[in-house]
Amino acid sequence: MADTIFALSSGRPPAAIAVVRVSGPQAGEAVRRLVGRVPEARRATLATLREPATGEPIDQALVLWFPGSASETGDDTVEFQVHGGRAVIAAVLAALGRVPGCRPAEAGEFTRRAFDNGRLDLTRVEGLADLIGADTEAQRRQALAQLGGLLGDKAEAWRQRLIGAQALIEAGIDFSDEADVPGELVGPALAEAAALRAEIVAVLADGRRGERLRDGLVVALAGPPNAGKSSLLNRMVRREAAIVSALPGTTRDAIEVHLDLGGQPVTLVDTAGLRETDDPVEREGVRRARDRAAAADLLLWLQDGAEPDGAVLPDGLAGRVWRVVTKADLLDEATRTRWAGTDTHLTSARTGEGIAALMEALEQAAATLIGAGDPALVTRARHRAALEETVAALDRAAAGAGGPEEIVAEELRLAGRALGRLVGRVDVEDVLDVIFRDFCIGK
């Protein structure tokens, strides 16, 4: 018999209410011991929880009993809503620990059981993890769509069609000596594979917006020392997140600030000023600054407005770059006019000039790059890799047309296997630990 698991599923106590969940074959026995009876299924029942050994009351609780396969995990489950004090929770958990066959749950174990019982496919498990981790509206919407099976159902439908196409060819192979089986079944199978390929390629051509939304859009501030990077960051986030000083080379470690721009998650990264230096600590800072700038989705390249030609963007950082001119408050009219004629954001951290416009532009860019339109299907690198593997196998199948039918069938099988891994139907042991590691205890 499988273990029965229990855990505190609500947040850190003390709190008004705490939810303790129990799931597994002994859940019914647990509720019988603590409540004295098994309450009506799926109805909130007010009951006194008692220490089974002594009969002493522990707390007044709402008890919810979800028998068998209709529960979230697919096993008998009971939820106790108790007062969220530490001693109450400790007493309930201790009493549950004394029920034979019951033990504390490990991180993610309730969800793992739901997966093992076929209640959730792997993409839904990931959606659930993302929903719990969602910080912004757009992230919440995307996670909820994933939990609802946006990608999982589509991938499973693709997989079923592939199995059908593969079966067509295998029927041809198995019965090829029999007169009444059509000899040419590879053609229709490959036509189906080509249609599938087109659908998957269209899903992959999403500009990685799902992954970007999940991770947050990374915007790096870079430029020469004393360009005013840290001052601008502080002004943008309206707090003293980074140290500012007149000394060039002040910032060493990259400083990250997370923002919610109109529902889009954006991470601003302040970096060390880029220059050649003999100071080993600053040199490490410069190395990190280059890495962060190169990896960013968007680079704000800052230059002091008083520098006549501006700073030269180093090689290798030419991706998505916005030029930002700083210290506009120090400029004379002629210089201002000259900058105004260029493709730059003119800003002053001192007066706040240009900051609102910059934030507005960032919010729009974030919406375009990650948030706009329907929720993306691909939200993790794992999804993308599995779909690319599927497309590669379909390409090999198409290239095998005219050759031995067994080879085409084998490539279709490999394409289906990649989709099977995506939804968690075939050999996924290696990815499960990684995915469930994200979960907390009680989930």
Ligand X SMILES: Nc1nc2c(ncn2[C@@H]2O[C@H](COP(=O)(O)OP(=O)(O)OP(=O)(O)O)[C@@H](O)[C@H]2O)c(=O)[nH]1
Q: Could you list the residues that contact ligand X (CB under 6 A)? A: 225-231, 244-246, 248-251, 272-273, 326-327, 329-330, 348-350
Smallest distance from ligand X to CB 351, Å: 7
Q: How far is it, in rounded angstroms, from Cα 428 to Cα 146? A: 19
Smallest distance from Mg ion to CB 399, Å: 54
The stretch near Mg ion (CB under 5 A) out of 75-83, 131-139, 141-149, 244-252 is 244-252
Q: How far is it, in rounded angstroms, from Cα 85 to Cα 106? A: 22
Query: Is 273 among the annotated ligand-binding positions?
Result: yes
Q: Which of 251, 303, 326, 347 binds Mg ion (CB under 5 A)?
A: 251
Query: Is 350 among the annotated ligand-binding positions?
Result: yes
Smallest distance from ligand X to CB 338, Å: 18
The stretch near Mg ion (CB under 5 A) out of 1-9, 193-201, 249-257, 369-377 is 249-257
Smallest distance from Mg ion to CB 226, Å: 8
Could you tell which of K ion, Mg ion, ligand X, none binds residue 349, using a CB distance below 5 to 8 A set by kind? Answer: ligand X
Question: Is 146 an interacting residue with respect to Mg ion (CB under 5 A)?
Answer: no
Query: Is 246 among the annotated ligand-binding positions?
Result: yes
Smallest distance from ligand X to CB 285, Å: 9
Please, which contacts does 131-134 make with residues 24 or more away whose CB atoms are closer than 8 Å?
132/439, 132/440, 132/443, 133/438
Query: What does the per-residue mask of binding to Mg ion show for 185-224, with x meaning CB under 5 A?
Result: ----------------------------------------
> Which residues, in sequence order, are CB contacts of 441 under 8 Å at separation 6+?
7, 8, 104, 105, 106, 107, 108
Residue 439 φ/ψ, nearest 5 degrees: -85, 155
Task: Give the CB-nearest residue to ligand X.
Answer: 273
Query: Is 55 among the annotated ligand-binding positions?
Result: no
Q: Which of 230, 264, 326, 347 binds Mg ion (CB under 5 A)?
A: 230
For residue 429, give the H/E element and its range.
helix 429-437
Query: Is 443 among the annotated ligand-binding positions?
Result: yes
Q: Do the beta carbons of residue 85 and residue 61 sit within 8 Å?
A: no
Closest to ligand X by CB, 16 or 246: 246
Closest CA to 4 of 104, 111, 149, 98: 104
Closest to K ion by CB, 139 or 250: 250
> Which residues, in sequence order, are CB contacts of 262 under 8 Å at separation 6+?
363, 366, 367, 371
Task: Give the CB-nearest residue to K ion.
Answer: 250
Closest to Mg ion by CB, 139 or 251: 251
Query: Is 338 among the annotated ligand-binding positions?
Result: no
Cis omega (within 30 of 0) for bond into 39:
no
Q: How far is it, in rounded angstroms, from Cα 336 to Cα 331? A: 6
Q: How far is it, in rounded angstroms, from Cα 224 to Cα 371? A: 32
Q: How far is it, in rounded angstroms, from Cα 14 to Cα 89? A: 9
Measured CA angle at 238 (ends 355, 224), to 5 deg:
60
Could you tell which of ligand X, K ion, Mg ion, none binds residue 330, using a CB distance below 5 to 8 A set by kind? Answer: ligand X
Smallest distance from ligand X to CB 286, Å: 10
In this structure, which amino acid lies at residue 139? Answer: Q
| Three-state DSSP state, 212 | helix
The stretch near Mg ion (CB under 5 A) out of 12-20, 70-78, 230-238, 303-311 is 230-238
Output the furthest CA–CA distance in the chain (Å, rounded): 92
Query: Is 231 among the annotated ligand-binding positions?
Result: yes
Smallest distance from Mg ion to CB 141, Å: 35
Q: Which residues are annotated as a binding site for GTP?
A: 226-231, 245-251, 270-273, 348-350
Q: Which residues are annotated as a binding site for Mg(2+)?
A: 230, 251
Q: Which residues are annotated as a binding site for (6S)-5-formyl-5,6,7,8-tetrahydrofolate?
A: 21, 79, 119, 443
